[in-house]
Amino acid sequence: MFFNRPDIDAWEVRKGMSDMHGMDLVPDPKTIIAALRACRRINDYALAVRHLEAIKFKCGDNVGSIYPYILQEINPTLAELGIETPEQMGYGKPEFVVKSVYES
């Protein structure tokens, strides 16, 4: 697998994630785990969190069923690597939400 290479550098990790997120698919948990481990190998915590955000976005209308399954599968790895999900860090909802003019 691409992300499992021990000599992978930051550019290759970002390129691989960009290519993966450009496809019309939600990556399987094995691929997500490999990408998270690659992020930790290059010491880029922010990229790991952005990767999780992008995965949640890619779930689309099925976020209620796909995203919890993915979190369930990758949770042991997240705990092992010390990575928090965006929801655990409080990024689940924006801080400054402005009501729509149509909701007034």
Contact in structure between 8 and 42 (CB atoms under 8 Å): yes
Residue 101 sits at the vertex; the CA angle it makes with 100 and 102, to the nearest 5 degrees, is 85
Domain range holding 68?
A: 2-81
Per-residue pLDDT tens for 5-51?
989 999 999 999 999 999 989 999 999 999 999 999 999 999 999 99
- Residue 56 DSSP class: H
Coil vs helix vs strand at 11? helix
CATH number of 57's domain:
1.25.40.40
pTM of the model: 0.84
In a domain, 64, yes or no: yes
Q: How large is the C-alpha radius of gyration of the chain?
A: 15
Residue-wise pLDDT for 80-103, tens only, equals 999 999 889 887 666 676 777 787
Domains of the chain: total: 1
Tokens standing for residue 28: 């399987």
